[in-house]
């Protein structure tokens, strides 16, 4: 998510962005109060089978936070002690971006991207762990890659299981959001898989990234971050959503505009001190859906911090943020 990363935190005044779509409410709710280590970027969160929560993020060697109650978060180091050697094929510092954590087949799976700002010479990798905790991950190398000759960018991975098959959304700029099928045994892209196109913008540079798909009722919902991140209080990130009855699309908003034509209902945008809301993911906790994202704190020099909000599903199936 993120073309990137944790860069350019600029102190400046910014007016709150107002919602402009029919699906938006008159005002956005603030994130749930959290304490402890709040600094984070591109968070992915899961409730562990052992109890408590872990969040992974861009920064460090996939930065880790843990919590017992989803309110107080503690710094837990990094997923890896040091970068796997192959990461250096994609940047000089072995810097990973935008992880995604999930659980299946008795193991936790962590997907992540390695790339450099402004290029689509990128790769998505995967690791597994028996506990989901930092320091327990075994890396399994590349899952899917992109090169400068491709019209997509292999970063910002997120997994979804649908109809007994495993899928991965990804994408940032370079004509937007894509999806490929994964082999559930290896966790890697199926050989010769079709690269499905899910969302784009009608104008270059096609500023949509950070996809995340969830199933609710008979629909799949595609959440994505639009516009610019990573500029502190000058960030214009916002979260939009559309839905489809098929995991591979087409995804359309509540007005019927396809995401491939620039559609998407505005779910959450900057307001008050909470600037540039995006880099989102969705997780379940005791049967309820939660939206995790970062925002830039206008009252703390644009520092990126953790945002958590409940998701409620309206009678017509569309999500709203609580």
Query: Mind listing the pLDDT tens digit for each residue in 188-202?
Result: 999 999 999 999 999
What lies within 8 Å, CB to CB, of 236 at 6+ separation is 17, 227, 228, 270, 276
Q: Is 191 a catalytic residue?
A: no
Enumerate the H helices of the chain as residue ranges: none
In sequence order, what are the residues at sequence separation of 6 or more whose Cβ sits closer than 8 angstroms to the Cβ of residue 10? 231, 232, 233, 234, 302
For the cut 80, the answer to whether the pLDDT of residue 9 exceeds it is no
Distance between CA atoms of residues 165 and 153, nearest Å: 23
Rg of the chain over all Cα atoms, to the nearest angstrom: 18
Q: Cα 235 to the chain's mean position, in Å?
A: 16
Marked catalytic residue, from 42, 100, 156, 253: 42
Count of Cβ atoms closer than 10 Å to residue 220 Cβ:
22
C-beta separation of 73 from 37 below 8 A: yes
pLDDT > 90 fraction of the chain, expressed in percent and rounded: 92
Cα(167)–Cα(175) distance, integer angstroms: 19
pLDDT single digits (tens) 81-129:
999 999 999 999 999 999 999 999 999 999 999 999 999 999 999 999 9
**CATH code of the region 35-321:** 2.115.10.20
Please state the rounded mean pLDDT for residues 279-297. Answer: 97
Among residues 95, 181, 209, 297, the one annotated as catalytic is 209
CA distance 207 to 194: 23
- Rounded Cα gap, residues 291 and 280, in angstroms: 7
Instruction: Provide the pLDDT confidence category of residue 187 given band limits of 50, 70 and 90.
Output: very high
pLDDT tens-digit map of 133-167: 999 999 999 999 999 999 999 999 999 999 999 99
If one counts every other C-beta atom within 10 angstroms of the C-beta of residue 79, the result is 27
Confidence of residue 232 (pLDDT cuts 50, 70, 90): very high
- Domains of the chain, by residue range, sit at 35-321
pLDDT band at 27 (very low <50, low <70, confident <90, very high): confident
pLDDT of res. 115: 97
Active site residue 209: yes
The SS3 assignment for 75 reads strand
């Amino acid at each position: 998510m993120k073309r990137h990363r944790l860069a350019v935190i600029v102190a400046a005044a910014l007016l709150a962005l107002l919602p402009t779509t029919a699906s938006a409410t008159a005002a956005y709710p603030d994130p749930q109060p959290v304490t402890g280590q709040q600094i984070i970027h591109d968070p992915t969160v899961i409730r562990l089978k052992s109890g408590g929560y872990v969040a992974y993020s861009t920064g460090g060697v996939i930065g880790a936070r843990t919590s017992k109650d989803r309110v107080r978060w503690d710094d837990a180091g990094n997923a890896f002690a040091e970068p796997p050697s192959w990461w250096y094929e994609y940047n000089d510092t072995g810097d990973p971006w935008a992880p995604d954590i999930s659980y299946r087949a008795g193991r936790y799976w962590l997907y992540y991207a390695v790339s450099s700002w402004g290029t689509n010479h990128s790769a998505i990798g995967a690791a597994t762990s028996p506990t989901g905790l930092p320091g327990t991950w075994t890396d399994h190398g590349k899952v899917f890659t992109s090169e400068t000759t491709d019209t997509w960018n292999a970063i910002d991975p997120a997994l979804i299981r649908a109809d007994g098959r495993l899928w991965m959304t990804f994408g940032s700029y370079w004509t937007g959001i894509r999806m490929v099928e994964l082999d559930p045994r290896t966790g890697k892209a199926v050989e010769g898989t079709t690269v499905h196109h899910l969302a784009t913008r009608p104008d270059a540079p096609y500023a949509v990234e950070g996809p995340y798909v969830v199933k609710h009722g008979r629909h799949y919902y595609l959440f994505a971050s639009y516009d610019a991140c990573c500029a502190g209080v000058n960030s214009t990130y916002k979260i939009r959503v559309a839905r489809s009855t098929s995991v591979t699309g087409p995804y359309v908003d509540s007005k019927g505009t396809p995401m491939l034509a620039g559609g998407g209902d505005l779910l959450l945008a900057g307001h008050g001190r909470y600037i540039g809301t995006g880099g989102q993911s969705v997780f379940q906790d005791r049967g309820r859906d939660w939206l995790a994202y970062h925002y830039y704190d206008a009252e703390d020099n644009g520092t990126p911090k953790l945002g958590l909000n409940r998701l409620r599903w309206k009678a017509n199936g569309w999500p709203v943020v609580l």
